[in-house]
Structure 1
C-alpha cells in the first residue's frame, strides 16, 4: 500500500479546510512538504483549478494552485517525495507545453512526478479558457497519446484532430521510463475506460469501499487492463466527503478520521476492496503545528502497518 498526502493551503475548499489554512502561505506549505519528505509518504498531492467561477465560490472556495508551478516549487524544496497533480484538467494544456514542463521538472529533480489528470468538469472554466467543453473527452484521449509520443520518441510526430506536430525535438526528456506515470481521474465508465487504456492508475472521486469492487471489475473486463494489471495503481481518498458530485454542495459535515482505530479500519476496508494506494487528508486541526505532528504520528503509527 502506498500513501499520498494532501498538501494543505494550496486551496481553500470549504468541506475539508482546516481553520489555520486560509492564513497560511508559502513558508507553511514548504515546511509541510519538507516534513513529509523526511518521513515515508510516497506522494504529495497538488490540487488545481485555473479560474474559479464566482457562482462556485461558496462551495469550492477562491484559492486553487496551478499544478505544474506548485509541483516545480515543491520538487525543488524536497529530495525524495513524488508530486501528484490531483487533478489537472488535461484539455487546458497544449501537449507540447505540458510535456516540456514535466520533462524539465523531472530532469532537474531526478524524476518524482506523477501526472494525475482528467477531462475536467467546470464548464465555465472551459469557457474562460476558450476550450470546447463538449469535446473534452476526445481532446483528453488525443492529448494523452500525444504526451506519450513526445516523451518516448526522439523525433516525435502526431497527426490528430486537435493537435498536430512533426519535425520537432523536445528535450530534456523525463527521467522516469518509459514516461512519468499517468493516473486518470473520474468516476464514469468513460473515465475508467480511459484509465485502463491510457493510464497507469485510476483516481476516483467520491467512491467508497462499497463502490470500489464493481468499478475494478469493470476495468478488469477491458482488454487494455490485462497487460498492466500487476502495476496499475488504484488510489482512493480516505476522506468521506459529504458533497454532491459536480455541484460540490455540502450534504453534511465532511469527517476526516483522526484516531488510530478509525484510520486503520478505513484503510483496511479500502485495501480489501482493491485499493493499492490511498490519499490522506489531515483532519481539521486548529493549528499548523498540530497538523505537522499529526502527519508524523500517521507516518509512525499507520503507514508501517501496510508496508
Structure 2
C-alpha cells in the first residue's frame, strides 16, 4: 500500500481546512514538505485551480496554487518524496509546454513526479482561458497522447484535431521510464475508461469503500485494463467528504485523526480494492500539531500496510 499526503497550506478548501492554514505561507509549506520527505510518505499531493469563480468561493475557498510551479519548488526543497498534482485540469495547458515543464522537473530532480489530471469541471475557468468546455473530454484524450509522444519518441510527431507538429526534437526526456505516471481523476464511466485506456492509475473523487468495488469491476471489464492490471494504481482519499459533485456541502466533513478511526478507513479501502490512499491531516489547531500528526501517522499507521 502506498500513501499520499495532502500538502497542507496550498488551498483553503472549507470542508477540510485546519484552523492554522489560512495564515500559513512559504515557511509552513516548505517545512511540511520537508517533514514528509524525512519520513516514508510516497507522494505529496498538490491541489490546483487557475482561478475561482465568485459563486464557488463559499464552497471551494479562494487559495489554490498552480500545480507545476508548486511541484518544481517542492521538488527543489526535498530529496526523496514524489509530487503529484491532485488534480491538474489537462485542457488548460498546451501539451507540448506541459510535457516540457514536467520533463524539465524530472531531469533536474531525478524523477519524482506523477501527473494527476482530469478534464476539469469549472466552466467559468474554461471560459476565462478560452478553452471549449464541451470538448474537454476529447481535448484531454488527445493531450495525453501528445504528452506520451513528446516524452518517449526520439522523432516526436503528432497530427491530431487540436495539436499538430513534426520535424522537431524535444529534450530532455523524463527520468522515469517509459514516462512519468499519469493518474486520471473523475468518477464517471468516461473517466474510468480514460484511466484504463490511457492512464497508469485512477484517482476518483467522492468514491467510498462501499462503491469502489463496482467501479473497479467496470474497469476490469475493459481490455486495456488487463494489460496493466499488475501495475495500475487505484488511489482513493481516506476523507469522506460531505460534498456533492459540485462541492456543495450537505453536512460536516469529519477527518479521522485517531488510530482506530484511521485504521478502519484504510483497511476498508484496501479491502475494497484501493492500492494507495490519499491522507488529509485532521483539523488540528496549530501547525506544530500537524507536523506531529504526520510523524505519528508515519510511525504508527504506515508500517501496518507495507
TM range (shorter): over 0.9
In the alignment, the residues of structure 2 paired with residue 168 and residue 252 of structure 1 have an alpha-carbon distance, to the nearest angstrom, of 53
Alignment of 1:1-307 (within 5 A): 1-246=1-246, 248-307=247-306
Secondary structure, in 3 states, of the residue corresponding to 1:83?
Answer: strand
Secondary structure, in 3 states, of the residue corresponding to 1:80?
Answer: coil
Secondary structure, in 3 states, of the residue corresponding to 2:138?
Answer: helix
In angstroms, what is the RMSD of aligned CA positions? 0.4
Q: Deviation at 1:222?
A: 0.3
In the alignment, the residues of structure 2 paired with residue 95 and residue 204 of structure 1 have an alpha-carbon distance, to the nearest angstrom, of 23
Q: Deviation at 1:269?
A: 0.3
Instruction: Point out 4+ residue stretches in structure 1 off by more than 3 angstroms.
Output: none
Q: How many residues align?
A: 306
Q: Deviation at 1:192?
A: 0.1
In the alignment, the residues of structure 2 paired with residue 75 and residue 139 of structure 1 have an alpha-carbon distance, to the nearest angstrom, of 28
Q: TM-score, normalised by structure 2?
A: 1.00
In the alignment, the residues of structure 2 paired with residue 155 and residue 275 of structure 1 have an alpha-carbon distance, to the nearest angstrom, of 37
Deviation string, structure 1 residues 18-66 (Cα, Å, up to 9, x no partner): 0000000011000000000000000000000011111111111111000
In the alignment, the residues of structure 2 paired with residue 168 and residue 55 of structure 1 have an alpha-carbon distance, to the nearest angstrom, of 44
Secondary structure, in 3 states, of the residue corresponding to 1:4?
Answer: strand
Deviation string, structure 1 residues 90-128 (Cα, Å, up to 9, x no partner): 000101100000000000000000000000000000000
Structure 2: tracts of 5 or more residues without a match: none
Q: Deviation at 1:155?
A: 1.6
Q: Deviation at 1:197?
A: 0.3
In the alignment, the residues of structure 1 paired with residue 96 and residue 213 of structure 2 have an alpha-carbon distance, to the nearest angstrom, of 36
Secondary structure, in 3 states, of the residue corresponding to 1:282?
Answer: coil
Q: TM-score, normalised by structure 1?
A: 0.99
In the alignment, the residues of structure 1 paired with residue 96 and residue 141 of structure 2 have an alpha-carbon distance, to the nearest angstrom, of 15
Secondary structure, in 3 states, of the residue corresponding to 1:107?
Answer: helix
Q: Deviation at 1:249?
A: 1.2
Secondary structure, in 3 states, of the residue corresponding to 2:115?
Answer: strand
In the alignment, the residues of structure 1 paired with residue 243 and residue 112 of structure 2 have an alpha-carbon distance, to the nearest angstrom, of 31
Secondary structure, in 3 states, of the residue corresponding to 1:104?
Answer: helix
In the alignment, the residues of structure 2 paired with residue 97 and residue 155 of structure 1 have an alpha-carbon distance, to the nearest angstrom, of 17
| Bigger shift: residues 248-257 or 269-278 | 248-257
Structure 1: tracts of 5 or more residues without a match: none
Q: Deviation at 1:201?
A: 0.1
Secondary structure, in 3 states, of the residue corresponding to 2:155?
Answer: coil
In the alignment, the residues of structure 1 paired with residue 225 and residue 271 of structure 2 have an alpha-carbon distance, to the nearest angstrom, of 20
